[in-house]
Structure formats: C-alpha cells, structure tokens
C-alpha cells in the first residue's frame, strides 16, 4: 500500500517550554527549534475575539525546506518564508497539507505561486474544492513515503478523526509524529472543532497511530503545547469523556 516517491528538487535552495524560540517582530509568528533540522512554527487566527494558536512544522533538508501545513494567518505567508531564508539561508521547496481546513491549507495557492511544490491527498484536494479552500497542485492517493534531500518521511492515513481526510506525518529516524488536528495537545480540555469530525471512528484512528508508530519522541498537535509526548493518550481520554457525556 505504500509507494516511494523520490523528489530530487533542484531549486536553490511556537508556545511551550522548549528553547530557542524566535519572534518575527509582530507577535503573530513564532518559530521554535524542536530538534536537529526540525522546527515548529505557530501562527494565530482570531477565534471568538481571541488570537488562537495553530502549530505547523518545517524541516531543513539539503535540498531546501519542507513545510508541513501552512500558516493560518495570511499575513504570515511571506514572513515565514523570509524568516526561514534569513535563519537557514535556504528556500522552502515543498509543502504538504494534512487536511482540508484553512489552518492547514490557507497558504497553498500563495506558496504554489512562489514556486513551492504543494501536495495533499486526492481526498483533501476534493474536499478543498467542495469547501472553497485553497488546493494543492500535486496529490497522492495512499500512504506515501517522500524523500527530499537528506530527510525521509511518511504520510499516513490513520482513519477518520478530526476530519474525514486527516493524515499524519511520521519521521521514523527521529521518531517525530506530526499529528496535526487529529491529535489533541495535553493542554486541551476538549476536542475542539467537531464540525467535520467522526467522533465514533476517532479512537480507532488514534489506536492505529499507536500501533503504527510505537512511542514517538515528539508529538506535534495542531494546536497548543507539544511539550508532552502523551498527546495520543490524552486524545483518547478526551474522546472517552466526550462519549460519557452523551
């Protein structure tokens, strides 16, 4: 079920207790070093009158920078690219979105116009078209392993959860699981936006991640802190509590 996609790209080239956090100057984009070549970036969007954080990630490779999801705030599309180039002296060359909501896809068209290869699953692009969200240029239809420069990662579909199409990203060598909105931070007190969720299937999808990836060293949820690597267990707990309230 898994295909290997080798991308030889010739283009020249956050809210937790972890160190090395950098502000861009407007307090709406935070970049935090995770480990090695991995960085979490956080942007904000107004939610009920309060700025709410959205986590995404990027990876510095020998062929350029890989973006996992896009900024939620359109004003941060270019500042993120500028910050990456200043910090790493490399350009972003690849971007993959993990589901169709705007906190994952808002920057896809902007980044495509910048020459960045934008990717999602076929299903995500169909949903983006239906919901009038930005769409990726390239798609894949099943669990896929990408190799870009010196880094390899797997895009894995665990099943319906926060949305019907949500995928997660796994870096096997570093044991980093980017869970996106399918995984809730240990800071979260509820399941958040359930407008497109499959709450009945979600627990099984979390268990599929546990079975597939064992014990990740880092787990990056879509929102709030990633300081704990117990987010999968916490998500199951929130789902159980939600079910008990019915």
Query: Which residues, other chains included, contact 72 with Cβ-Cβ below 8 Å and sequence gap of 6+?
Result: 43, 44, 45, 54, 102, 103, 106
Nearest to 170 by CA among 145, 139, 138: 145
Q: Is 162 considered catalytic here? A: yes
Q: Is 103 considered catalytic here? A: yes
Neighbours of 181 (CB within 10 A): 26
Q: Are 147 and 5 in contact (CB under 8 A)?
A: yes
The DSSP 8-state label assigned to residue 244 in this structure reads H
Give the span between the Cα atoms of 31 and 145, in whole angstroms. Answer: 26
Catalytic residue among 143, 193, 208, 229: 193
* E-assigned strand segments in 172-246: 176-180, 218-221
Catalytic residue among 45, 162, 223, 234: 162
Nearest to 209 by CA among 199, 219, 200: 219
Catalytic residue among 45, 101, 151, 223: 101
- Residue 159, phi-psi category: left (phi > 0), alpha (psi -120 to 50), beta (remainder): left
Q: Is 193 considered catalytic here? A: yes
Q: At what angle do helices 231-244 and 202-213 cross, to 10 degrees?
A: 160
Catalytic residue among 99, 151, 223, 234: 99
Catalytic residue among 37, 69, 73, 103: 103
Task: Enumerate the active-site residues.
Answer: 99, 101, 103, 162, 193
């Amino acid at each position: 079920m898994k295909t290997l996609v080798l991308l030889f790209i010739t283009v020249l080239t956050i809210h937790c207790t972890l160190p090395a956090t950098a502000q861009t100057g407007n307090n709406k984009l935070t970049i935090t070093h995770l480990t090695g070549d991995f960085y979490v970036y956080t942007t904000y969007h107004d939610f009920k009158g309060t700025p709410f954080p959205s986590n995404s990630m990027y990876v510095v490779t020998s062929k350029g920078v890989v973006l996992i999801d896009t900024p939620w705030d359109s004003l941060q599309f270019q500042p993120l690219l500028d910050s990456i180039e200043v910090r790493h002296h490399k350009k972003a060359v690849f971007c993959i979105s993990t589901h169709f909501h705007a906190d994952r896809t808002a920057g896809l068209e902007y980044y495509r116009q910048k020459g960045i290869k934008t990717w999602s699953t076929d299903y995500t692009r169909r949903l983006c078209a239906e919901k009038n969200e930005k769409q990726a240029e390239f798609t894949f239809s099943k669990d896929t392993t990408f190799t870009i420069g010196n880094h390899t990662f797997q895009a894995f579909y665990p099943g319906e959860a926060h949305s019907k199409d949500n995928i997660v990203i796994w870096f096997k060598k570093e044991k980093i699981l980017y869970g996106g909105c399918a995984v809730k931070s240990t800071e979260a007190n509820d399941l958040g936006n359930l407008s497109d969720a499959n709450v009945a299937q979600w627990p099984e999808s979390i268990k599929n991640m546990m079975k597939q990836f064992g014990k990740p060293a880092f787990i990056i949820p879509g929102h709030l802190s990633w300081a704990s690597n117990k987010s999968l267990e916490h998500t199951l707990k929130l789902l159980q509590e939600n079910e008990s309230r019915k």
